[in-house]
Amino acid sequence: MKQIKKARVAIGGILHETNTFARTKTDYRDFMKGRALGMAKGAGMLKEFRDANIGVGGFIREAEHSGLKLVPLIWTFAQPGGTVRHQAYVRLRDQFLSGLKAALPVDGVFLELHGAMVTTRCEDAEGDFLRRTREIVGKRVPIIAELDLHANITPLMAKEADILIGYDTYPHVDIAERGKEAARLMTLMIRDKIKPVSAFRQLHLLISPPRQCTLISPMQDIFRMVHEMEKRPKVLSITFSGGFPFADIGDAGASIVVITDNDAPLAGKIAHELASAIWRKRKEFNVVLTPVRDAIAYALKTRKGPVVFADGSDNPGGGAPCDGTVMLKDLVEANVPSAVVAIIADPEAVAAAGRAGAGRIATIRVGGKTDRLHGKPLTLTGLVRWVGNKSYFNKGPMMTGMRVDMGRAAVFVVNNVEIILCENRFQPFDAEAIRCFGIEPRKRLIIGLKSAVHYRSCYQTMAKKIFELDTPGIHTPDLTQYRYRNLRRPIYPLDAMN
């Protein structure tokens, strides 16, 4: 048995959720500070992330508590976006791997990954990353990876890691909690107290993100079942991944990983039981979307705000451009008494607002510049209320404590619609994205958000009503709109399956 005080565990993470339907590519600089949600190397990682609600944050806190010695290598999270250039991935991967080689011998490796990264040459970047990590440390050193609830888990990932741990929540509020779980299991493995074996199952099921929300049925019921199953003897961890349907790869879709303490038949039995129960619920995953005008009519009739409009089709958190104008156009034309739109990522519009200056009336071309899939640019005349550099810290409950850099930003007011324009592209799930401009979302009739589900972490209780909008885009929840070429078939709901 290894003495825990002397055990050394390498930690790191490269996180990307790749939308292969995006027209843009994700580059090395998208993983760099400023553009990324965070980037740190070496000892700086411990200081920067120890208190953050992210996987390495939870892992660091719990591992230090247990007396493990940590060897921090590299951690970076690029905003979800188009396919990652293979060279960018290789450059990041090799920074981790060369650090790992230099750190040998280690007694364990913890990786925080997303699980849905696709490069221009590799459909399964995390599988590749785990395989190469395994080659370096050998068969006997534990490798534990934490994955997003939207991971498209592949057979290679399941094979190369000893333990995969997925989030149990969407909005993702348990990221640090799962990191702590990983640290507890790591400690038990290093002390030879457990011998994890796993069963992996892919379902013939593609689930649209709004229906993966764990605050509502059927996901809420499924996770209740998962947590009951986790209480059974010898069960160490169960992951149900909803998958990321906007990556057109063979392995996209829902999957299950069951880990038991040295009982492979039990792991297989539980995986089968859970897969059957989820499959029986497949029709409950069908989405219902509302046209923007119907949602506006509802808000104008009830006059009870805030009514939240989720423009999931243009969700940057799923790789969309975040400069779509379909929702904005209807809001501006409807003459609503008060509305705020967060955010439109449009550096040109911000620059135009800057040239006009705060307090001035300006005519600005807003949005629709990345592609033509999310609406055309709008030429709007209104008041530039504020312009300048802006950043904020998430107040939670999701990714609490992480700094979000908006770049240069502006508040542009057109027909009572406050449009938050930003240089940087990010998902405004935290209410601070609006409050940092002195706008109180509770006092607005309509809040338009470029988000599919994560906004619910802040707005589920605040909102009087929530609409998931029927707008076009590369993150539209209507899965029948996509032309899949690589996805395994048959798969529900694209194919009729009984």
Distance between CA atoms of 105 and 6, rounded to whole angstroms?
Answer: 12
Which residue bears the tokens 């998902």?
427
- Look at residue 29 and give its three-state secondary structure: helix
Closer CB to Zn ion, residue 198 or residue 315?
315
Rounded distance between C-alpha atoms, residue 303 and residue 445, angstroms: 7
Nearer to Zn ion, 150 or 456 (CB): 150
Instruction: Pick the closer one to Zn ion by CB: 260 or 313.
Output: 313
Give dist(CA 381, CA 289) in Å, integer.
Answer: 30
Report the nearest approach of Zn ion to the CB of residue 317 (Å). Answer: 7
Q: Which two tokens stand for residue 484?
A: 């899949």
Based on the shown chain and the rule CB under 5 A, indicate whether residue 418 belongs to the binding site for Zn ion: no
Tokens 């796993």: give the residue.
198
Element (H, E) at 77: strand 69-77
Bridge partners, residue 290, by sequence: 469
Amino acid identity for residue 198 in this structure: S
Stretch that binds Zn ion, among 101-109, 146-154, 374-382, 408-416 (CB under 5 A): 146-154
The least CB distance from residue 126 to Zn ion, in Å, is: 14
- Closest distance of CB 171 from Zn ion, Å: 9
Residue type, 11: I
Under the binding rule (CB under 5 A), the answer on residue 475 touching Zn ion is no
CA neighbor of 441 nearest in space, from 427, 428, 431, 454 = 431
Only segment of 141-149, 229-237, 271-279, 374-382 that touches Zn ion (CB under 5 A)? 141-149
Smallest distance, Å, CB 491 to Zn ion?
Answer: 20
Determine how β-strand 378-393 pairs with β-strand 360-366: antiparallel
Nearer to Zn ion, 126 or 148 (CB): 148
Rounded to 5, what percent of the chain is helix, strand, coil? 35, 25, 40
Provide CB contacts within 8 A for 114, sequence distance 6+: 15, 16, 17, 126, 147, 148, 150, 151
Contacting residue, 150, 211, 329, 450, with Zn ion by CB under 5 A: 150
22 or 362, CB closer to Zn ion?
22
Nearest to 458 by CA among 211, 57, 171, 217: 171
Nearest CA-CA partner of 415 in 334, 357, 317, 326: 334
Nearer to Zn ion, 113 or 447 (CB): 113
The piece of 75-83, 144-152, 232-240, 436-444 that touches Zn ion (CB under 5 A) is: 144-152
Work out how close the CB of 116 gets to Zn ion at its nearest, in angstroms, rounded to a whole number. Answer: 8
456 in contact with Zn ion (CB under 5 A): no
Instruction: Tell me the DSSP string of 348-382.
Output: HHHHHHHHH-TTEEEEEEES--S-SSS---EEEEE
Tell me how many residues contact Zn ion (CB under 5 A): 2
Cβ at position 20, least distance to Zn ion in Å: 16
- CB closest to Zn ion, residue no: 150
Contact between 148 and Zn ion per CB under 5 A? yes
In angstroms, give the least distance from the CB of 146 to Zn ion.
Answer: 12
**Least distance CB 149 / Zn ion (angstroms):** 5
Kindly state the smallest distance separating residue 460's Cβ from Zn ion, in Å: 17
Binding to Zn ion, residues 209-238 (CB under 5 A) = none
Q: Closest CB to Zn ion among 251 and 263?
A: 251
Using alpha carbons, select from 401, 208, 444 the residue that is nearest to residue 308.
444
Name the residue nearer to Zn ion (CB basis): 16 or 150: 150
Contact 330, 296 (CB under 8 A): yes
CB nearer to Zn ion: pick between 151 and 417: 151
- CA–CA gap between residue 52 and residue 331 (Å, rounded): 36
Segment contacting Zn ion by CB under 5 A, of 23-31, 140-148, 350-358, 480-488: 140-148
Q: Which stretch binds Zn ion (CB under 5 A): 143-151, 247-255, 297-305, 344-352?
A: 143-151
Q: Provide, rounded to whole angstroms, the least separation between the CB of residue 150 and Zn ion.
A: 4
- Three-state secondary structure call for residue 335: coil
Q: Could you identify the residue written with the tokens 């996509």?
A: 482
Whole-number Å distance between alpha carbons of 16 and 116: 7
Q: Could you tell me the smallest distance in angstroms from the CB atom of residue 270 to Zn ion? A: 24
Q: Which is nearer to Zn ion, 82 or 196 (CB)?
A: 82
- Give me the residues that bind Zn ion (CB under 5 A), please: 148, 150
